[in-house]
């Protein structure tokens, strides 16, 4: 599989946005970055990039915000039902908490089951959704099993995990959610919502939050 993964860093909150393309098919987008997504839309238009789908790891402003600028593209968008209320609730999505203009996005997002494999024929990809609540109720990871690649959002970072003190967090699910991730193959490459990539083997050996999982 010839898979190209392009990391873009949003100007606000330094959240990662990933464009993933298999061969010469249409790419999929994982997260959309900060509230003003004009920077992202500019890249897509300048490079004449059409998207097959958008996958959102959770509903915080720095991961869903770019949707407001991308709405004209009419692209299938996936977000766990547990976080869909964040789209229209500035308190839950954190835009108010961080002193930003209230973020409210009207978009029809599609839910998925835990463990469901979502097929994207235009992208030639099968993407497994793994629900990992704790950072938010609907936090999810997306697994490209054939390529052994996992997009973890703010569930797991290199050497750390996401915070659990924001609106909508549910810390009681932390252990169970991390266990879902650690059960994957050790060579799995992790692409987090912030910061550098890693591997599951590295995290199992070095991440203090995985020591007793």
Site of tokens 């997504």 = 37
pLDDT tens sequence across 16-63? 999 999 999 999 999 999 888 899 999 999 999 999 999 999 999 999
Q: What integer pLDDT is reported at residue 34 of this predicted model?
A: 85
Least Cα distance to 147 among 113, 131, 123 occurs for 123
Residue 34 burial class via C-beta count within 10 angstroms: exposed 0-12, middle 13-18, buried 19 and up: buried
Strands in 140-144's sheet, in edge-to-edge order, are 117-120, 125-131, 140-144, 149-153, 189-192, 198-199
Helix or strand (DSSP H, E) at 55? strand 53-55
CA distance 149 to 5: 10
pLDDT of residue 152: 98
Question: What pLDDT does residue 50 have?
Answer: 96
Task: State percent of the chain over pLDDT 70.
Answer: 100
Give percent helix, percent strand, percent coil of the chain, each to the nearest 5.
25, 25, 50
pLDDT at 15 over 70: yes
59-118 per-position pLDDT tens digit: 999 999 999 899 888 899 999 999 999 999 999 999 999 999 999 999 999 999 999 999
User: For residue 1, what pLDDT is reported?
Assistant: 60
* Cα–Cα dist 59/195, whole Å: 18
Rounded Cα distance between 104 and 64, Å, is: 10
The pLDDT tens digits for 110-153 are 999 999 999 999 999 999 999 999 999 999 999 999 999 999 99
């Amino acid at each position: 599989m010839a898979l190209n993964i392009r990391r873009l860093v949003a100007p606000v909150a330094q959240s990662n946005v990933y464009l993933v393309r298999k061969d010469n098919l249409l790419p999929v987008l994982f997260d959309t970055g900060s509230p003003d997504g004009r920077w992202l839309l500019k890249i897509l238009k300048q490079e004449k990039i059409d998207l097959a789908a958008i996958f959102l790891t959770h509903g915080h402003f720095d991961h869903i915000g770019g949707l407001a600028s991308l709405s004209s593209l009419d692209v299938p968008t996936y977000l766990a039902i547990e976080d869909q209320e964040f789209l229209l609730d500035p308190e839950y999505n954190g835009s108010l908490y961080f002193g930003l203009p209230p973020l409210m996005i009207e978009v029809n997002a599609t839910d998925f089951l835990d463990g469901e494999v979502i097929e994207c024929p235009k992208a030639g990809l099968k993407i497994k959704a793994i629900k990992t609540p704790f950072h938010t109720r609907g936090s999810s990871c997306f697994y490209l099993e054939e390529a052994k690649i996992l997009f973890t959002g703010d569930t797991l970072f290199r050497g750390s995990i996401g915070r659990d003190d924001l609106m909508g967090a549910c810390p009681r699910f932390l252990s169970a959610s991390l266990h879902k991730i650690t059960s994957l193959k050790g060579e799995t490459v992790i692409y987090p919502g912030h910061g550098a990539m890693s591997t599951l083997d590295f995290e199992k050996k070095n991440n203090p939050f995985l020591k007793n999982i």
